[in-house]
Chain A
Amino acid sequence: MTVETGFAAMARRDDAAVRDVARRRTKVSLILAALLIAIYLGFVFLAAFAKTLLATPLSDGISLALVVAALVIVAAWVLAWVYVSWARRHHDAACDRLS
Chain B
Amino acid sequence: MTPQATNIGHPGLSAIGFFLLFLALSLGVTWWAARRTRSTEDFYAAGRRIGAVQNGLALSGDFLSAAGFLGGAGLVAIFGFDGVIYSVGGLVGWPIMTFLLAEPLRNLGRYTVGDVLAYRLGTTSIRIMAAISSLTLVLIYLLLQMVGAGTLVQLLFGLPYETAIVITAAVMLVYVLFGGMIATTWVQVIKCLLMLAIVIVLTMMLLAAYGYDPAAVLRAAATRNGAKVLGPGPLLSSPIETISLGLGFVCGISSLPHVLMRFYTVPDAVTARRSLLYATGFLAIFFLLITYIGFGAMALVGTDAIRAVDRGGNMALPLLAELMGGNSFLGFVSAVAFATILAVVSGLVITGTAALSHDLWVNVLRGGKASGREQLVVARVGAVFLAIIAMLLGIAFRGQNLVYLVALATAVAASANFPVFVLALFWKRLTVAGANWGMLTGLFGSLLILYLSPLVQVDILHHATAVIGLRNPAIISCPLAFAVAILVSLATYRRRDGERYACIQKQMLLGSHQA
Would you call B509 and A45 a contact (CB within 8 A)?
Answer: no
Q: Is B239 an interface residue (CB 8 A)?
A: yes
| Bound CA–CA A76/B81 (angstroms) | 19
Would you call B94 and A18 a contact (CB within 8 A)?
Answer: no
CB of B324, distance to nearest CB on chain A (Å): 20
Q: Which of B60-68, B243-251, B392-400, B467-475 contacts A (4 or more CB under 8 A)?
A: B243-251
- The interface residues of chain B, by DSSP majority, are classed as helix
| Bound CA–CA A44/B506 (angstroms) | 38
0/1 per residue, B388-426, Cβ < 8 Å to A?
000000000000000000000000000000000000001
Q: Which of B25-33, B123-131, B269-277, B440-448 contacts A (4 or more CB under 8 A)?
A: B269-277
What band does the interface of chain A fall in when counting residues whose beta carbon is under 8 Å from B?
35 or more
- B268-310 residues with Cβ-Cβ distance < 8 A to A are 270, 273-274, 276-277, 280-281, 284, 287-288, 291
Cβ-defined partner of A51 (8 Å) among B92, B232, B502: B232
Would you call A84 and B273 a contact (CB within 8 A)?
Answer: yes
* Nearest B residue to A72, CB-CB: B88
Cβ-defined partner of B85 (8 Å) among A29, A44, A56, A77: A44
- A10-49 residues with Cβ-Cβ distance < 8 A to B are 14-15, 18-19, 21-22, 25-26, 28-30, 32-33, 36-37, 40-41, 43-49
| Bound CA–CA A68/B124 (angstroms) | 47
CB of A57, distance to nearest CB on chain B (Å): 7
- A42-81 residues with Cβ-Cβ distance < 8 A to B are 43-49, 51-52, 54-57, 59-66, 69-70, 72-74, 76-77, 79-81
Q: Is A9 an interface residue (CB 8 A)?
A: no
Q: Is B500 an interface residue (CB 8 A)?
A: no
Chain A residues with Cβ below 8 Å from B246 are 40-41, 44
| Bound CA–CA A16/B94 (angstroms) | 31
Chain A residues with Cβ below 8 Å from B218 are 61-62, 66
Chain A residues with Cβ below 8 Å from B238 are 48
CB of A63, distance to nearest CB on chain B (Å): 4
Would you call A70 and B288 a contact (CB within 8 A)?
Answer: yes
Would you call B242 and A32 a contact (CB within 8 A)?
Answer: no
Would you call A59 and B92 a contact (CB within 8 A)?
Answer: no
Number of interface residues of B (CB under 8 A): 54
Would you call A72 and B231 a contact (CB within 8 A)?
Answer: no
Chain A residues with Cβ below 8 Å from B281 are 77
CB of A52, distance to nearest CB on chain B (Å): 8
Chain B residues with Cβ below 8 Å from A26 are 426
- B189-245 residues with Cβ-Cβ distance < 8 A to A are 215-219, 222, 227-228, 230-233, 235-239, 242-243, 245
Cβ-defined partner of B230 (8 Å) among A15, A37, A65: A65
- The interface residues of chain A, by DSSP majority, are classed as helix
Chain B residues with Cβ below 8 Å from A81 are 277
The answer to whether residues A55 and B215 also contact, given A45-B242, A47-B85 and a CB cut-off of 8 A, is no
Q: A63-B230, A76-B92 are in contact. List 17 more A-B contacts (CB 8 A).
A: A18-B509, A41-B243, A48-B237, A51-B231, A51-B233, A54-B231, A55-B228, A55-B232, A56-B231, A60-B219, A61-B218, A63-B227, A66-B230, A69-B88, A80-B95, A84-B98, A99-B510
What are 12 A-B pairs with beta-carbon distances under 8 A?
A: A15-B502, A33-B100, A36-B99, A45-B239, A47-B85, A48-B242, A65-B231, A66-B84, A70-B288, A72-B88, A77-B281, A99-B510
B-binding residues in A (CB < 8 A): 14-15, 18-19, 21-22, 25-26, 28-30, 32-33, 36-37, 40-41, 43-49, 51-52, 54-57, 59-66, 69-70, 72-74, 76-77, 79-81, 83-84, 87-88, 92, 95, 98-99
A-binding residues in B (CB < 8 A): 81, 84-85, 87-89, 91-92, 94-96, 98-100, 215-219, 222, 227-228, 230-233, 235-239, 242-243, 245-246, 250, 270, 273-274, 276-277, 280-281, 284, 287-288, 291, 426, 502, 505-506, 508-510
4 nearest A-B residue pairs (beta carbon): A55-B231, A61-B219, A61-B215, A63-B230
